[in-house]
Structure 1
């Protein structure tokens, strides 16, 4: 086998807390990650020519060593002294720079796929250990499902699967700098932290309404001040029947949890008609 087609799943954060800042400048986090059925398509082909060739369907994405998928391939090629090359075609559907781990999940798919094509024999845990060298979200994107992420995001614990539901995704047409968000985050005695342990309890009880109602993302305290449209989208989802709505990651994507697909579709129509977001998707959780 010299070719492989893969799905690189997006993620949302059901809860995101920041507990402190390390000496090296990285923030310590405690968050609940969830894969969803929104994915990029990755096509891998092993070639005789010893080069990494990346192509995408979006002209503004890097197709060189600045692409995380390229870096993932190079990491394995260098480590195992592989003399063949690889063609990586990325069909991008996950919104870019949206807080949904789009680049990280592409890199995870390349690590997984090259391990299989080249018969490197690495376990999932060994792939995850290599993935963290590329980015804090990459190990989770290899793991998938529902998980607690701690440390800088690399310490992962599997959690009970998210209950079935409909998820509405809406990305407003703004660009958010993750660095700006973390640089402007205030952590002091007055900071109200999301109840991550409570969310874990809701997952164990499979209580969707409680889970949606208890969601929280500390980064909203920064991002919503800069981009009020995020809060407008949240309110629109909730007005249309969302059990809960929240920003994913550092934003700007907002997701709503619905028990009724018709309600999600009504919310999507209103968001589009008011031009709050052009990129909207109705999907569901991806559980292992």
Structure 2
């Protein structure tokens, strides 16, 4: 039996740049791994796939991305044995933090270790691309520019060690509904990823906060007004910019120090139940 960490991500930029022939939207994003994580336990079994979790709000069958990843790995490698997967959830579900994709990526990495198959991260990412758009990024972790439908990854090394305070409101956001409401008027004429890349390399938190942009945020806030209300309340308390990750509803603030992050965490706990203090990985 072995354990593998599944790290959440935030979007520093998310620009929708067009519509693809396959029906997906073309995106240009800068994504960053944070240390909010699930823990995935993997154990060899004679055959088949088993998924378990103490979390009551995730499927434990073929609908679970971790299950899909395990099935895809076994098919690709032709490993004759099976695997038992146990998921300890900490990342909020349907939160814009790629929790399910992170679990799938951790299963791919972990099964590669468990069975000694020797696949590269690039090969694991290729398997993951068929499971979900965020899975390839989650296989690599760190920071990257993601294009296409999110599966084309250009990894980015930078020195910034920022802290992140996240608030997850009790709102269920449908990613399909959010993307379904995107119109050509919402397309970004010029993605911000090149400028964000420079700011990350310069470790300039003020400039990063200035550049953070999520093209889905106005759409999510129109469909789910409570997200907009929460963002405004957070901004009034924090006096720093408040951003949204993915299609939401999770909102976050960036701070350069743990002490500043702790102060925001304490302030947000005054009116929000799910608050997390995390940092870049």
Is the TM-score greater than 0.5?
yes
> By how many angstroms is 1:267 displaced?
3.1
> By how many angstroms is 1:206 displaced?
1.8
Q: 1:217-244: per-residue Cα shift (whole Å, max 9, x none)?
A: 0001110112233233333444444643
Corresponding residue for 1:39?
A: 37
Distance in 2 (alpha carbons) for counterparts of 1:269 and 1:231: 21
Q: Secondary structure at the match of 2:185?
A: coil
Does the 8 Å contact 2:173/2:248 carry over to 1?
Answer: yes
Does the 8 Å contact 2:186/2:215 carry over to 1?
Answer: no
Distance in 1 (alpha carbons) for counterparts of 2:260 and 2:177: 34
> By how many angstroms is 1:169 displaced?
0.7
Q: Judging changes above 3 Å, is the alpha-carbon distance between structure 1 residues 112 and 131 closer, same or farther for their aligned structure 2 residues?
A: same
Question: 5+ unaligned residues in a row in structure 1: which ranges?
Answer: none
- In the alignment, is residue 252 of structure 1 matched against residue 254 of structure 2? no
Q: 1:160-213: per-residue Cα shift (whole Å, max 9, x none)?
A: 326122210110000000010011012228867662322112112221110111
1:170-249 map, 5 Å:
170-188=167-185, 195-241=192-238, 243-249=240-246
Q: Judging changes above 3 Å, is the alpha-carbon distance between structure 1 residues 162 and 150 closer, same or farther for their aligned structure 2 residues?
A: farther
Does the 8 Å contact 1:241/1:264 carry over to 2?
Answer: no
- TM-score, normalised with respect to structure 1: 0.91
Corresponding residue for 2:27?
A: 29
> 1:127 aligned to 124, 127, 134, which one?
124
- In the alignment, is residue 60 of structure 1 matched against residue 57 of structure 2? yes
Q: Judging changes above 3 Å, is the alpha-carbon distance between structure 1 residues 54 and 242 closer, same or farther for their aligned structure 2 residues?
A: farther
Distance in 1 (alpha carbons) for counterparts of 2:231 and 2:253: 7
Corresponding residue for 1:284?
A: 279
Does the 8 Å contact 2:13/2:193 carry over to 1?
Answer: yes
Q: Secondary structure at the match of 1:69?
A: helix
Distance in 2 (alpha carbons) for counterparts of 1:62 and 1:190: 34
Aligned length: 281
Q: Which segment is superposed worse, 198-207 or 172-181?
A: 198-207
Does the 8 Å contact 1:11/1:34 carry over to 2?
Answer: yes
- TM-score, normalised with respect to structure 2: 0.94
1:87-106 map, 5 Å:
87-106=84-103
> By how many angstroms is 1:260 displaced?
4.2
Distance in 1 (alpha carbons) for counterparts of 2:188 and 2:109: 39
> By how many angstroms is 1:83 displaced?
2.2
Corresponding residue for 1:145?
A: 142
Does the 8 Å contact 1:16/1:31 carry over to 2?
Answer: yes
Q: Secondary structure at the match of 1:222?
A: helix
Q: Which segment is superposed worse, 196-205 or 9-18?
A: 196-205
Q: Judging changes above 3 Å, is the alpha-carbon distance between structure 1 residues 138 and 185 closer, same or farther for their aligned structure 2 residues?
A: same
Distance in 1 (alpha carbons) for counterparts of 2:206 and 2:234: 15
> 2:9 aligned to 8, 11, 26, which one?
11
